[in-house]
Amino acid sequence: MTFKHLSEYFSKLEKTSLRNQMTEILASLFHEAERGEIGKLCYLLQGRVAPLFTAVEFGMADKMVIRAIVQGLFVDGGKVVSVFKSEGDLGNAVQKLKLSESGKRKEDKELGIVEVYDVLYQIATSNGTGSQEKKINLLGDLLKYSDPLSAKYIVRMTLAKLRLGFSDMTILDALSWMLTSSKSLRAEIEKAYNVRPDLGYIGSTIKTKGIKGLSHVIPMVGTPIMMARAERMTTGIDIIEKVGKCAVEPKYDGFRLQVHFDGKNVSLISRNLENVTAMYPDIVEGVKKQIKAKKTIFEGEAIGINVETGEYLPFQETVQRKRKYDIEAKAKEIPLKLFAFDCLFADGEEYLYKPYLMRRKKLEQLVEKGDTIYVAHKEIVADPKRLEEIFQDAVTRGLEGVMAKKLDGTYRAGARDFNWIKYKRSYAGKLSDTIDAVVMGYDLGQGKRSSFGIGDFLIGIYDKKKENYLTVAKIGTGLTDIEWQELQVRSQKLRTKVKPENYDVDKAMSCDVWMKPEIVVEIRADEITRSPVHTAGRVMGPSKSGSALEVKVAGFALRFPRLERFRGDKKPEDATNLSELETMYDLQIGNK
């Protein structure tokens, strides 16, 4: 396939915001692609040359790209800058220049997508001395030979600005559509994607082997596995009734790490699949010293320790280790311990499809005694009374509560289910847990808060089915001055001119400023109540007169919401979702 043809697809995709239409356009593109092309195509569609979880980035700013355009199109720098100014986008500018008389040259070639991909890959992976010049030369050459439309998209990609407006999930739908003209295989494909969230791998496996190729995907060291999550319950009796005899582990209140170790190199992956290896040199050393496997993937919770007393530190202190600067000094001040709780892969064998007890046995074999990595404590329990005792003991020791794990439960990558159950101390209160919400917009501040430029901010949860955000509260209290500032600084980059299309907001909750969904905040509230002005769980129906829609079932709203912390380790789609909120509401009613 030529890159020009792919660019025509980019154009079509850009023109629609309807998911179903995008799915069909993508499916037809995948249909046309050759076996050797589809993997690369999947990355190009994300404006990349490698999976999202890798650190391969183009690293090119406007200035560098302008130099490449000057070089490739033989045009004057001033001219490029003035067209850029009038177009407001360098992609449009290069296309316009190529179409203009001075930019029209005979060099345009029919470049194939693999050919373009290979050059883009070289651009993204050049580093070290002289790499800036190399990137400019490579891009310049590419622009010289590409047609105007291709040039537009190549430039946007190198600037990391190719935003076609669909998620990985739409690509999975489209792969299903390619095979069946329906989304019927989406769940099966997603299951494989959760074990290897590398669209290139998923796309080329389907193209070459069909859906059968994805029936038993083995994890790969270096490719993060989407993390399994836990359901909530509020008493020992309920837990034993649900899963029977189970393993009870302490619930450490730190942050989760997925460790990938190939015998030499260690990668540490955060909850939202970011590579955070550089932040935690003490854990990297610990893994190298204490792990007895050539290749392994395991998970644990990292928690800070008070060097004088040896006690666990509260989350607020542990989280100070999440930083880009002064890493070594902070590591001395707040050393981390990693409590390993699961083994997903070891020495060529997958473990995630094996039952908990087997995974746990392997984990115990993996970890040698040392002072950084410990295997999480566990006790097998059949008696609810004993479960309550362990829970109380954990809370007394300052832990968050316990995790109960089903003995024959597998590791359900990317899924939240009852194979793991969290039983937290906050369940004793009215509202069973905190909520992770997305900041959707804000009103301009009044009074003291006007100095931060932000007054109340609107938060919402995620509806997985509709892939949109639904509101639950506006918050104006509970933030420290530093948190207000952080919110203000971060919101600058996320402002949008109009309300994003996937926001469902009642008029009464409209905001002065809208923001892209990116910031996730953990919110504590007294209670979940029902309110007609919030859209989470709200049901609308025709009014009696039939002329307009009216509220048939009020939405969920938070009573006295306050910010607990920013959740930099969560993506907006990881926010509490509608069905979880419904469950929390039911649990709360049960508690009452």
Cβ distance to ligand ATP smaller for residue 207 or 271? 271
Please select the residue that binds ligand ATP; options are 37, 147, 190, 249, rule is CB under 6 A: 249
Q: Is 362 in the site for ligand ATP (CB under 6 A)?
A: no
Q: Which of 4, 144, 152, 251 is catalytic?
A: 251
Q: How far apart are CA 487 and CA 477, in angstroms?
A: 13
Q: Is 321 in the site for ligand ATP (CB under 6 A)?
A: no
Q: Could you say which residues in the range 493-512 bind ligand ATP, by CB under 6 A?
A: none
Q: Is 425 in the site for ligand ATP (CB under 6 A)?
A: no
Question: Is 264 a residue of the active site?
Answer: no
Q: Is 248 in the site for ligand ATP (CB under 6 A)?
A: no
Dihedral angle, C-alpha 55, 58, 64, 70, nearest 10 °: 170
Q: Is 565 in the site for ligand ATP (CB under 6 A)?
A: no
Cβ distance to ligand ATP smaller for residue 198 or 436? 436
The DSSP bridge pattern shows strands 373-375 and 349-350 to be unpaired
Cβ distance to ligand ATP smaller for residue 251 or 359? 251
Token duo for residue 260: 């990938």
Question: Residue 378 Cβ, how far from ligand ATP at the closest point, in Å?
Answer: 8
Quote the Cα angle for 504-508-512, to 5°. 85
Q: Is 376 in the site for ligand ATP (CB under 6 A)?
A: yes
Residue facing ligand ATP at closest CB distance: 256
Quote the Cα angle for 563-415-43, to 5°. 90
Radius of gyration of the chain (CA): 26
Closest C-alpha to 509, from 443, 562, 416, 423: 443
Q: How far is CA 500 from CA 17, 469, 557, in A?
A: 11, 10, 21
Q: How far apart are CA 291 and CA 226, in angstroms?
A: 22
Cβ distance to ligand ATP smaller for residue 94 or 473? 473
Please select the residue that binds ligand ATP; options are 251, 360, 412, 449, rule is CB under 6 A: 251
Q: Is 387 in the site for ligand ATP (CB under 6 A)?
A: no
Cβ distance to ligand ATP smaller for residue 206 or 521? 521
> Counting Cβ atoms within 10 Å, is residue 153 exposed (0-12), middle (13-18) or buried (19+)?
buried
Question: Residue 272 Cβ, how far from ligand ATP at the closest point, in Å?
Answer: 10
Cβ distance to ligand ATP smaller for residue 8 or 574? 574
Q: Could you say which residues in the range 146-205 bind ligand ATP, by CB under 6 A?
A: none
Size of the site for ligand ATP (CB under 6 A): 12
Please select the residue that binds ligand ATP; options are 151, 403, 475, 519, rule is CB under 6 A: 403
Q: Is 313 in the site for ligand ATP (CB under 6 A)?
A: no
Question: Residue 578 Cβ, how far from ligand ATP at the closest point, in Å?
Answer: 14
Cβ distance to ligand ATP smaller for residue 95 or 296? 296
Token duo for residue 234: 């509020």
Taking the alpha carbons of 60, 489, 162, 414 in that order, is the dihedral positive or negative? Answer: positive
Of 244-252, 314-322, 465-473, 549-557, the window that binds ligand ATP (rule: CB under 6 A) is: 244-252
Q: How far apart are CA 423 and CA 19, in angstroms?
A: 38
Letters for 332-361 (x = contact with ligand ATP by CB under 6 A, - = none) are: ---------x--------------------
Q: How far apart are CA 248 and CA 422, in angstroms?
A: 10
Question: Residue 230 Cβ, how far from ligand ATP at the closest point, in Å?
Answer: 5
Of 191-199, 245-253, 275-283, 304-312, the window that binds ligand ATP (rule: CB under 6 A) is: 245-253
Letters for 405-424 (x = contact with ligand ATP by CB under 6 A, - = none) are: -----------------x--
Residues 6 or more apart whose Cβ sits within 8 Å of residue 71: 136, 137, 140, 144
Q: How far apart are CA 266 and CA 260, in angstroms?
A: 6
Cβ distance to ligand ATP smaller for residue 203 or 561? 561
Q: How far apart are CA 561 and CA 583, in angstroms?
A: 18
Q: How far apart are CA 539 and CA 562, in angstroms?
A: 26
Q: Could you say which residues in the range 542-561 bind ligand ATP, by CB under 6 A?
A: none
214, 193 Cβ separation under 8 angstroms? no
Q: Is 386 in the site for ligand ATP (CB under 6 A)?
A: no
Q: Could you say which residues in the range 204-243 bind ligand ATP, by CB under 6 A?
A: 229-230
Question: Residue 427 Cβ, how far from ligand ATP at the closest point, in Å?
Answer: 11
**212: how many CB neighbours lie within 10 A of its CB?**
9
- Name the DSSP letter for residue 373: E
* Kind and range of the H or E run holding 41: helix 35-45
Letters for 436-475 (x = contact with ligand ATP by CB under 6 A, - = none) are: x---------------------------------------
Q: How far is CA 106 from CA 8, 56, 101, in A?
A: 21, 33, 12
Q: Is 580 in the site for ligand ATP (CB under 6 A)?
A: no
Q: How far is CA 198 from CA 15, 116, 189, 190, in A?
A: 26, 20, 12, 11
> Counting Cβ atoms within 10 Å, is residue 244 exposed (0-12), middle (13-18) or buried (19+)?
exposed
Q: Is 252 in the site for ligand ATP (CB under 6 A)?
A: yes
Q: Is 301 in the site for ligand ATP (CB under 6 A)?
A: yes
Question: Residue 470 Cβ, how far from ligand ATP at the closest point, in Å?
Answer: 18
Of 40-48, 167-175, 249-257, 450-458, the window that binds ligand ATP (rule: CB under 6 A) is: 249-257
Q: Which residues of 484-512 are buried (b: 16+ CB within 10 A; e: fewer)?
A: beebbeebeeeeeeeeeeebbbbeebebe
Q: Could you say which residues in the range 109-138 bind ligand ATP, by CB under 6 A?
A: none
Of 236-244, 248-256, 261-269, 480-488, the window that binds ligand ATP (rule: CB under 6 A) is: 248-256
Question: Residue 466 Cβ, how far from ligand ATP at the closest point, in Å?
Answer: 20
* Kind and range of the H or E run holding 302: strand 296-304
Cβ distance to ligand ATP smaller for residue 152 or 378? 378
Catalytic residue numbers?
251
Query: Which residues contribute to the site for ligand ATP (CB under 6 A)?
Result: 229-230, 249, 251-252, 256, 301, 341, 376, 403, 422, 436
